[in-house]
Amino acid sequence: MSLLIVGSVAYDSIKTPFGEVDRALGGSALYASMSASFYSPVNMVAVVGSDFSEKESEYLNSRNINTEGLIRKPGETFFWRGEYSFNLNEAHTLETKLNVFEDFRPKLSSKLKKSQYVFLANIDPDIQMDVLDQMVEPKFVALDSMNLWLDIKKEKVLDVISRVDALIINEEEIRQLTDEYNVLTAVKKIFQTGLKYLIIKRGEYGVLFFEKSEPHKIFSLPSYPLEVVKDPTGAGDSFAGGFMGFLAKADQVNEIQLRKAVVIGTVMASINVEDFSLNRFKAIQEEDIYKRLEDFRNILHFEEINV
């Protein structure tokens, strides 16, 4: 089914203990779209400057990513410079230039407004709300955010959360959002908003998935263990993209499909971080994904226990 992804396209300059890249393609919408495109066609909505080449658009189109909703504006594309130390769980932002992103207010075409599956990738919650207002009866909407927006627009983030189906957020952010240290207590609190599903990303420690019910259901999945993590940028977006792409393909929102989608998201994130920027997504074949999924199954497997 139709999948809409709204977020940022950026040029990133990134340094990690394992190398660096200068002005490499990135951004929440782009990572998520590339990841999702292995499962479902994507309509990507974002804004770029005149430094974004037509060739890039053509490449995305060739990968099942429709860029009709990609706005081009005079000026430069959003730019981010960041660095990671050996603790790859945490990025240190050195420079952020919003550039053309500053007054990004996407107006969706009548076709895009009817998208069934929607991922509001990490951007200003005002933009997320604006997009949400334009949607016509979507089947499933997932939302990401980040600590920056929780610092300066927490109420707005909570407003958006109350209107979506699923929130995909990291462990520190759910604590910040709820003012609760224990994650399970935080989950109870966030489910008072009307949200149905919550996914807590724990970086190299995997993911917790919660479904609102009495008591709420939990699915816990570790990450795929990797020896080489070259660049964790976009891991969360790649997770969300794989999750949404799989769900749009299955076109069924239920516990069984959602859990599978979490596994797919985890696999896609593990692939993405093996190289800088979108390099791994550009290089892999479908067989690489099957292979990783199979490996992951073996890593998680244990037999029935009779005590």
Q: Which residues bind its own copies (CB under 8 A)?
A: 39, 86, 181-185, 202, 205-206, 208, 217-223, 225-227, 229, 246, 256, 259-260, 262-264, 286, 289-290, 293, 298-303, 305, 307
208 or 244: whose CB is closer to its own copies? 208
CB of 151 to its own copies, least distance (A): 21
Check if the beta carbon of residue 16 is closer than 8 Å to that of residue 132: no
Measured distance CA(51)–CA(80) in Å, rounded = 15
- What SS3 state is found at 166? strand
187 or 278: whose CB is closer to its own copies? 187
Residues forming beta bridges with residue 207, ordered by sequence position: 201, 221
Which of 74, 8, 75, 77 is CA-nearest to residue 45?
8
List the structure tokens of 237: 């977006």
Residues forming beta bridges with residue 144, ordered by sequence position: 168
104 or 201: whose CB is closer to its own copies? 201
155 or 286: whose CB is closer to its own copies? 286
List the structure tokens of 42: 């994507």
Measured distance CA(211)–CA(36) in Å, rounded = 22
137 or 227: whose CB is closer to its own copies? 227
CB of 129 to its own copies, least distance (A): 31
CB of 101 to its own copies, least distance (A): 33
CB of 297 to its own copies, least distance (A): 9
CB of 222 to its own copies, least distance (A): 4
Distance separating the N- and C-terminal Cα atoms of the chain: 45
